[in-house]
Chain A
Amino acid sequence: MNKGLNRFAIFVACATFFLIIAGALVTSNDAGLATPDWPLSNGQFFPEMVGNLFYEHGHRMVATTVGLLTIALAIYIRLKEKREWIWKLALFALIGVCAQGLLGALTVKFLLPAGVSTAHATLAQLFFCTTVSLAVFTSRSWMEAQPIEEEKGTLPLRYLCAAALVTIFLQLILGATLRHSAEWNEHLPVHLVLTHIGGAVAVTLALGAAAITTLRRHRDVSFLTRPAMLALGLLALQLFLGVAAYLARLSSPNDPQPLNPMISTTVAHVACGALVFVTTIVLTLRAYRVLPGTADNRGWDARPQES
């Protein structure tokens, strides 16, 4: 275990979260086409960042930084990490950030087609998931986790967590679709809003079941209870932000331009959604790390083989 590597992986994950916020600000401010060219902005590396160019070019700068950090992380992992699969995951992250940049270019070149914008928003979450996973895999707690020999209950917790994870990811796709289905001065499509609300119910049930099961079965295992409690807290916050964002968005079409609180609530909703997702990823990975899948199957990769 390399402490420096883990800290750097955490830093990259935090930078990715900041990038998601920067991207959400672009959408909420309707700044996606503030410049028609890519990768330069109005033909310049450093244009005067006035008006919405501040958000669009700022997003590009943060994205470039995250791209460079991902390259650095991959090199760092290659040099210091002996587990081959972590190196492969780092390569996956590198491919992901390149693909994300390409999707960003396509959104500009093709004038924000909803499908591409939604894919851009979805891949952002997957990339965030990958960087957080790298931080988890390189952590001391991961290396020193002790397997739990048996689990009470018929339904293995790891599968509950995986189901919650899939449900959240589908809800994130729905949210991205909803967000890119109407501009700030248009009303949101009713059927998409209702579907997203249905998705919120599904996420609440799935994540609630996973987190509460964790707390009931493994109350003494902080390795599991911490992400479970955090996920529950973030879920509650996310539901509140969802309602707030919807109420703020209702009046948006009558505004002369994107205004607060619409911008702040929708951006917070996007950011919190990403946090719910990665917290559930941490819970799921840890559950797979220490818990048996079935009665005769011990935790995945339970015995550390790393240096």
Chain B
Amino acid sequence: MNKQTKVWLVLSILLSLLAIGSSCGGGTTTTNQNANAGGAGAGSATTKYDGATGTISGVISYNGAAVTPRKIDTSADPVCGQANPNLTTEETVVTDGKLANVFVYVKEGSVEGGKKIADYAWDTPATAVNLDQKGCQYSPHVMGVMVNQKISITNSDKTQHNIHPTPKRNPEWNKTQGIGQAPIEETFRQAEVLVPVKCNQHPWMKAYIGVLRHPLFAVSGANGTYEIKGVPPGTYTVAAWKEGGAAGQETPMQVTVTANGTAKADFTFGAATTSGKPSLQMMPAIEFPMLSRK
């Protein structure tokens, strides 16, 4: 191998290694978790609130372009097609301009008297929350639980499913549940908004679980309404999260809750959703001035 060849070969390899190296660094990871959701950092909170409480309620509206749920191709598993022939997407479910499946929760704020909401502790409910697989869909599509609250996962279908939550702060797991198999009980130990759940056998199946240290959350119903009861008087940031894209879209709002009062917090979502990571657009930086119209 002569000198010129060696130089050429080494340069070629170095350039390629540099390209790989540059690709490994500098990347940003976008998650749809909210580490501070519901005072996630308040693991040592022991004070319980036992005073008068108020309510936060509201309506989630949708003012974007009309959304027609997309039909899902279930041909990969005939049982799904028989059980649910009209299976459609649940990402944006709008009825008379009102939006369902929006997760609304108290994100942060101060209780009257100055203490942070994260400084208070709530008892974990003894009852489990059910997540069912029926008609090759998760039901409910969006739900909330408290940290360490049991989630009972059932399979009502005549086919086997595979439950696979993909949290960022909690341990990830993946379990198969056969036909008629006993419920699977699981918990999440860290607050996280929201944990996506998928089925790797039926990739259209999705659910989202909001995990909080407090019970101050709700999911909007078919008519877009929600209600969060038992909120200590104070000023809070209430956030509404809607599914869409890779990370969903979250809208915050400041509300003040009074004892025995009801604070209104109405949210409106449009067609655009935040997907977290920017996509590489079709040559976004290249413009041709000579072709542009003045």
Name A residues whose Cβ lies closer than 8 Å to a Cβ of B: 29-37, 42, 48, 50-54, 56, 111, 154-156, 159, 162-163, 166-167, 170-171, 173-174, 177, 181-182, 184-196, 198-199, 202, 206, 250, 253-254, 256-259, 293-294
Contacts and interface: CB of A to CB of B under 8 A. Distances in A.
Q: Which 3 A-B pairs have the closest CB atoms?
A: A51-B201, A170-B16, A195-B23
Interface string B1-27: 110110011001101110110111011
Given A166-B13, A185-B246, A187-B275, A198 B19 contact: yes
Interface stretch (B116-124, B174-182, B253-261): B174-182
B89 interface: yes
Given A187-B246, A187-B277, A256-B72, A53 B19 contact: no
Identify the interface centre among A32, A163, A256: most chain B CB within 10 Å of its CB: A256
B49 interface: no
Contact of B76 (A52, A174, A250): A52
Identify the interface centre among A31, A34, A258: most chain B CB within 10 Å of its CB: A34
Contact of A34 (B24, B73, B162): B162
Nearest to B80: A51
B175 A250 contact: no
B4 A173 contact: no
B202 A52 contact: yes
A42 B176 contact: yes
B279 A188 contact: yes
Identify the interface centre among B2, B4, B91, B201: most chain A CB within 10 Å of its CB: B201
Contact of A51 (B9, B175, B202, B280): B202
B85 interface: no
26 contacts: A29-B203, A33-B164, A36-B176, A50-B160, A50-B201, A51-B76, A54-B76, A56-B200, A111-B174, A155-B4, A155-B5, A156-B5, A163-B12, A167-B16, A170-B16, A170-B19, A174-B19, A177-B23, A185-B246, A189-B27, A190-B280, A192-B23, A195-B20, A196-B23, A257-B204, A259-B73
Contacts of B27: 181, 189, 191-192
B279 A250 contact: yes
A162 B20 contact: no
A71 B160 CA distance: 35
Interface residues of B, number: 51
A206 B12 CA distance: 9
Contacts of B125: none
B203 to A, nearest CB: 4
B41 interface: no
Given A30-B200, A36-B162, 12 more contacts: A36-B175, A50-B160, A51-B159, A173-B20, A174-B19, A187-B279, A190-B278, A191-B22, A202-B12, A250-B279, A253-B279, A294-B2
B200 A256 contact: no
A107 to B, nearest CB: 12
A270 to B, nearest CB: 18
Interface of B: 1-2, 4-5, 8-9, 12-13, 15-17, 19-20, 22-24, 26-27, 70, 72-73, 76-80, 89, 91, 159-160, 162, 164, 172-176, 178, 200-204, 245-246, 275-280
Contacts of A177: 20, 23-24
Contact of B9 (A29, A42, A162, A258): A162
Contact of B8 (A34, A35, A155, A294): A155
B45 to A, nearest CB: 31
Nearest to A43: B176
Contacts of B204: 256-257
Given A199-B16, A202-B15, A257 B73 contact: yes
A263 to B, nearest CB: 11
Given A159-B1, A257-B73, A258-B203, A191 B176 contact: no
Contacts of B246: 185-187, 253
A299 to B, nearest CB: 14
Contact of A36 (B4, B5, B73, B174): B174
Nearest to A293: B1
A111 B2 CA distance: 48
Contacts of A193: 280
Contacts of A167: 12, 16
A294 B204 CA distance: 59
Contact of B172 (A111, A196, A202, A258): A111
B20 A174 contact: yes
B160 to A, nearest CB: 7
Contact of B70 (A188, A190, A199, A256): A256
B118 to A, nearest CB: 30
A48 B8 CA distance: 54
Contacts of B12: 163, 166-167, 202, 206
